[in-house]
Amino acid sequence: MDQSNVMKKNGRFYFAMVLHVLEGMLSGCNFMVLYLSIRALLEDTLNTKLLFTLTGTLALIFVVRLIIYSIGYTQGQIGGAEVSKHIRLFLGDKIKKIPLSRFTKAQTGEYINVVTSDVNNYESILTHKSGDIIKNIALSLSLIFFVSTVYLPAGLILLVVYLMLIPALWFSFRSVKKYGNEKNQILADNVSNIVEYITGIQTFRSYGIGGTKNKTVTDSMGAYSNISYQYEKKVIPIGVSYNIIVWCSLPAMVLVAGNAWVSGLLDTATFIMVSVLPIFASKLAGTIFIDLTSYKNLMISKRKINKVIFEEEEPESTVPFMPKNKDVCFEDVWFSYVENEPVLTGVSFTAENEELTAIVGDSGSGKSTILNLISKYYKPQSGKICIGGIPITEIASEKVLELISMVDQDVFLFNDTIKNNIRYARPSATDIEIIQACKLANCDAFIRKLEKGYDTPIGENGSQLSGGERQRLSIARAILKNSPILLLDEATASLDIENELAVKDAIRNLLKEKKTVIMIAHTLSIVQNANKIVVVSNGRIIEQGPHEELLQKQGKYYSMWKAEEELAV
């Protein structure tokens, strides 16, 4: 669907709106019948026949209104739900196309908010708010029209009641604009913080910073209640003042109509009718004020949805990406996550086709960032990253990632069976291929010991598995995907010796295939046989070459090697 049509309202919605207008006008007719009844009563012309005619008319209005209401309500609900269904489907698809670098912590809360509460808000505008507002406005207009025809000054008083809505809404819309946007932004931060809090609840609890002790969450909750309070504090007095002013229409009406009655210009029936109408009209105007204020507030959600709909997308994957070879080349790449805090400063190196390139360096030197850039999770600020000589900047992430298998420290596992978790790497894989991959990744044995073997559900994010087991499942995925480029973060230091050996053995099996491998190595013993070792320090490459050559240089690599040897002794 074209993005400019996503939020477009449909025929059902407009049909429902027409029916709401009719319903509002019919409600106004009740007052006319009531007026005729009072007239007949006071003029002593009320008899059984007229009484039946009047009550029959009221019953008919009721039945017609009921029919119109039922059709209008149903059409409005279906029409609104259809629009929000299109929005949800579009956003689901859109999120796939947004560059991965946009999914920072803050932005994630914003997206969650848009696809959940903002779409719900917009749906409620379509299914409820618009209909209620339009119906009440139609009813108000028919009241003004009716009263004006029976006694013009009374009609003008009612008109003033409704015209007073303009300044009241001007003030309330100003507050909505000021606090509503801020409230929405704080809510998005709140969602991000809560998602992070709940995801990390075990860690928070283990350090005794759960509940109110978690300052970030409590601060953000506090900020949200503050802004909600500020918002209400500004809007409520406007609503209250408006109500007080419009209720003055009651004594004003009694005074004006009373004077006319005393002077004989107005009959008793009209006096009674117009004198009680301000009670109803004031209440109705108050409802319209509240509904329009909340409509304006809900329209913030519409703008936010639109912002995501028109957000810049990844380049389309129409261009086939078939590099002749799979060497990965960095040319003077500069990158920072946060403005003015460079993490990579002029990185240049080539990981040759079907060779093993190891990246070593101090913690925080930028090793994982290099892998993140190859996977297009982020975009460099300057410089070029090429695969097989083709710059990847203009290629869709999807296409680039087809060529890459990633085995890193953060293994994400779905709440599904072991077999299905591995199958994500290649949905067309047969059970035998999955088992074969698991054997090579050293996980077949532990999987078979589980109650239901490969069909065992592994809980949310694989919570029932150890760190080493999760890493081996991730290696099994990479083996199954069998892509020509392998990005590997060898993080075995945190594992117990048995798991470390199993993972290292699985990695050895993974490396047997002819692939372009870029491996972050945390222990140097594993990189001795690499074709090239790239040494990173403070975001720069300070040495590169094979093991022996780097040892001879007696630079950073040499001292790291010596330090590791001493540790081993």
The structure tokens 């002790």 sit at 213
Least Cβ distance, residue 406 to ligand ATP (angstroms)? 14
Structure tokens at 29: 């007719």
Give the residue with the Cβ less far from ligand ATP, 361 or 468: 361
**Contact range with ligand ATP by CB under 6 A, out of 138-146, 155-163, 294-302, 361-369:** 361-369
Residue 369 CB, shortest distance to ligand ATP, in Å, is 3
Nearest distance from C-beta of residue 342 to ligand ATP, angstroms: 9
What minimum distance in Å lies between the beta carbon of 367 and ligand ATP?
4
φ, ψ for residue 339, nearest 5 deg: -55, 140
- 380 part of the interface to ligand ATP, by CB under 6 A: no
For ligand ATP, give the closer residue by CB, 294 or 368: 368
Residue type, 152: L
Asked if residues 359 and 536 have their Cβ atoms less than 8 Å apart, the reply is: yes
The nearer residue to ligand ATP, 363 or 428, going by C-beta atoms, is 363
Binding of residue 184 to ligand ATP (CB under 6 A): no
Nearer to ligand ATP, 367 or 472 (CB): 367
Residue 336 CB, shortest distance to ligand ATP, in Å, is 8
Nearer to ligand ATP (CB atom), residue 207 or residue 337: 337
Question: Using CB under 6 A, which of the segments 52-60, 136-144, 364-372, 527-535 binds ligand ATP?
Answer: 364-372
| 3-class secondary structure per residue, 280-308 | HHHHHHHHHHHHHHHHHHHHHHHHHHHHH
Dihedral-angle region of residue 211 (phi above 0 means left; psi in -120 to 50 means alpha; beta otherwise): left
Torsion of CA 211, 216, 221, 225, to 10 degrees: 140
d(CA 312, CA 304): 14
Size of the site for ligand ATP (CB under 6 A): 11
Q: Does 387 bind ligand ATP (CB under 6 A)?
A: no
Q: Which stretch binds ligand ATP (CB under 6 A): 169-177, 248-256, 357-365, 474-482?
A: 357-365
Distance CA 101, CA 378 (A): 5
Using the rule CB under 6 A, is 270 a contact of ligand ATP?
A: no
CA 314 to chain centre: 18
Residue 343 is a binding residue for ligand ATP (CB under 6 A)? yes
192 binds ligand ATP (CB under 6 A): no
Any contact of residue 237 with ligand ATP (CB under 6 A)?
no
* DSSP per residue, 129-146: IHHHHHHHHHHHHHHHHH
Q: Given candidates 62, 145, 310, 337, which one binds ligand ATP under the rule CB under 6 A?
A: 337
C-alpha triplet 551, 495, 210: angle, nearest 5°: 125
3-state SS record for 406-447: EECCCCCCCCCEHHHHHHCCCCCCCHHHHHHHHHHCCCHHHH
Among the listed ranges 174-182, 200-208, 345-353, 358-366, the one in contact with ligand ATP (CB under 6 A) is 358-366
**Residue from 127, 190, 193, 365 that binds ligand ATP (CB under 6 A)?**
365
Task: Give the DSSP letter string of 174-214.
Answer: HHIIIIIHHHHHHHHHHHHHHHHHHHTHHHHHHTT--GGG-
CB of 470 to ligand ATP, least distance (A): 17
**Is there binding between residue 497 and ligand ATP (CB under 6 A)?**
no
Parallel/antiparallel/unpaired status of strands 532-537 and 356-361 = parallel
Applying CB under 6 A, which of residues 24, 366, 380, 484 lies at the interface with ligand ATP? 366
Angle between helices 215-247 and 181-199 (to 10 degrees): 150
Residue 376 within binding range of ligand ATP, rule CB under 6 A: no
Integer angstrom CA distances of residue 177 from 174, 294, 295: 5, 11, 12
Among 367, 399, 477, 515, binds ligand ATP (CB under 6 A): 367
Print burial letters for 518-534: b (CB count within 10 Å at least 16), e (below 16).
bbbbbbbebbeebebbb
Find all residues with CB under 8 Å of 228, minimum gap 6, and list them.
183
Q: Does 340 bind ligand ATP (CB under 6 A)?
A: no
Which residue in the set 166, 338, 497, 567 belongs to the binding site for ligand ATP (CB under 6 A)?
Answer: 338
Window contacting ligand ATP (CB under 6 A); options: 9-17, 265-273, 365-373, 449-457: 365-373
Q: Is 554 left (phi over 0), alpha (psi -120 to 50) or beta?
A: left
Per CB under 6 A, the segment of 10-18, 53-61, 118-126, 337-345 that binds ligand ATP is: 337-345
- In the complex, the residues that contact ligand ATP under the rule CB under 6 A are 337-338, 343, 361, 363-369
